[in-house]
Amino acid sequence: MAQDAPESNPATIQDEAVENDVFVAPVVIEGETLFHVRGSSVLPASERAAAVEGRIYDLAELPETTPLRFDVREIEFGTAVFANGRMITVVTATDAEFEQFEIDVLAQLQLEAIQAALEGYREGRSNAARVDSALGAVALTVGFLMLYYYLSVVLLSFAETRPFAQILLDNVSGPLIGVILGFLGYIPSLIMLFIIVLITRYAIRGVRIVLDNVEAGIFDWKNFEPHWVNPTYNIARVLIIAIAIVFAYPYIPGSDSRAFQGLTILAGVLVSLGSDTVVRKMMAGLFVVYRRSTNIGDRIKVGDQVGDVVEIKLMETLVKSIKNEMISIPNAQLLNSEVTI
């Protein structure tokens, strides 16, 4: 039997390992495998699976109020699964052959797996789930303390172990009582911080609603351009958050200590030293956005670059050239250069 046993070929084993790593890879979301994808030497399966996972996580990070609409479409390379108009994954003929399913059936199964993963992701991060997790952590903590004190009482029952019990009680009881008293004393400040956060959140949401209505034409603001909505919202949000931080600062634990104040001063110095260039670029972006020198859709010439304005951001302006190339022009350059419209 030893003579008849086939010899292992090292090259064959190596080829099989490469095939396993390159040509088949699982799509894993939070430790759970949804399905497998096939790859090639040009596009390894691991890279393809990572791209699918990234798109699924992007969907999962959307606000809970955003509805998810799924559909399956036939495209050039196979059958694709779309969510909110964005392609998530493509089921190819090779995938169907590997899984031994019809291509449309496999696409539907992958769609259902993605839906289940997204529902689980959102449910696990919902407010109800966080409350349940917090309650579970509190229950485990209380149970651990009860066990700790039970062990201390048992050790107190014997003369030989009473010194150990006293050590346990001294190391836990004093710090625990201090933590409880400190928390009770911090409750008024915690309530004030909660109120500030609540007001800030609804103030930002109110600004968003007003600007959305302005963009939709429900509210008519004279001389207010539609492309001003996003930058105006970003500016208003930063101002609201800055004001909220100023009001919340005295209620932050340890804000009156010298260490906290020194750390705050150091952070302010670092930000001021490193933000000079950023502030200049942001101011240039504000001038470009609000002075109406150029609008989206205008054909402009900046230096040797000629193209149509696609998007105006705070730091840069995106222009599509006549060669269909996307060009990023810093807003500071638009202010310091001659712009022909």
Cα–Cα distance for residue pair 341/248, rounded to 1 Å: 47
Burial class of residue 193, CB neighbours in 10 A (0-12, 13-18, 19+): middle
- H-type helices in the chain, by residue range? 10-22, 45-60, 93-99, 103-124, 127-156, 162-216, 229-248, 258-274, 276-290, 331-336
Confidence tier at 20 by pLDDT (50, 70, 90): low
Query: pLDDT of 232-241, one tens digit each?
Result: 888 888 889 9
Question: Any residues with CB less than 8 A from the CB of 280 and at least 6 apart, and which?
Answer: 332
> Is pLDDT at 195 greater than 60 in this prediction?
yes
**Cα dihedral 297, 300, 302, 304 sign:** positive
Confidence tier at 109 by pLDDT (50, 70, 90): very high
Domain borders along the chain are: 10-124, 158-272, 278-340
Burial class of residue 25, CB neighbours in 10 A (0-12, 13-18, 19+): buried
Please give the distance of CA 316 from its chain centroid, rounded to a whole number.
23
pTM of the model: 0.44
Backbone phi, then psi, for 90, in 5-degree steps? -125, 130
Choice between 260 and 322, residue whose per-residue pLDDT is larger: 322
Look at residue 16 in the predicted model and tell me its pLDDT: 46
Query: pLDDT of 260-306, one tens digit each?
Result: 667 777 767 666 665 556 666 667 667 666 666 677 777 877 777 78
Cα–Cα distance for residue pair 82/108, rounded to 1 Å: 11
Q: Thinking of the domain 278-340, which architecture would CATH place it in? A: Roll (2.30)
